[in-house]
Amino acid sequence: MPPRHRPRQLNEAARLTDQLTAADYTKRDIARILNRDPSLVSQFHTRGKGAAFVPALRHVLHAVQEDGITDISELTALAAGHITRRTTRSGARARVRGKAVLITPAGSGTGRAGAAAIASGSAPLRPLIAEAARLRLRLAFTIRMPKSGYLHTSGSRADSPGVRRDVIQRADHSEERSYGSAATGGFDAIDIARRVDAAGGDVTAAVHQWLVETGRIHPSARITHLEIRTWRPRPSYGR
């Protein structure tokens, strides 16, 4: 008889994740709460990772089950204070890769998502947008897609730029267009963050939906690259 394989025993992070999943939170939701990529949450089950997130997951699960908190933003803020860094065998804090996005004290920040990240919902841009919303910043974005995806010719006033200098033609018949700037006021990061929340944390889908709703692209258009820029709005003084 062939040898029997024992089922893999789930670690604590995986068990807590399953309980949150039973409470109608997707792995993408849990990743947003932990401010991590969904692929890492999947590795709680497949590779036994997640020990550093157990305290945060316990507090989040308690907040959901006992306190009735359901808002992902609130759960994210709650989890942030309970996430511990891994340690090496000597007890020192383990080094981790730096984030791809950063907001300076002046409010300036930039994040980019290429083809691979676009396919996963532009996950690297989620922390940038969330932090920009927390700081009440303004933001703008640049998208790249095949020319056929746009409804208006480049530089059209029906499209956000209204001027050709914000449009870049590419040799592969794609085109980059920028929407929003410090000169025009840009967009409220809080509103964009809400759109991302409504899209289940998918930044690509949220931006795509905005472009469709505002009559700028075809519903079938496919974004291939996305960039987010942030800045602090200038204070307005009353007369």
Residue-wise pLDDT for 176-203, tens only, equals: 888 888 888 889 999 999 999 999 889 9
Which residues 6+ apart lie within 8 Å of 40 measured at CB?
Answer: 31, 34, 49, 50
pLDDT digits (tens, 9 = 90+) for 107-157: 888 888 888 788 888 888 988 999 999 999 999 999 999 999 999 887 777
Amino acid code (one letter) for 70: T
Q: Which helix (H) or strand (E) holds 131?
A: helix 126-134
In sequence order, which ranges of 35-114 are alpha helices (DSSP H)? 38-46, 54-65, 72-80
DSSP SS3 for 22: helix
Phi, psi for residue 165 in degrees, rounded to 5: -70, -15
| pTM for this prediction | 0.56
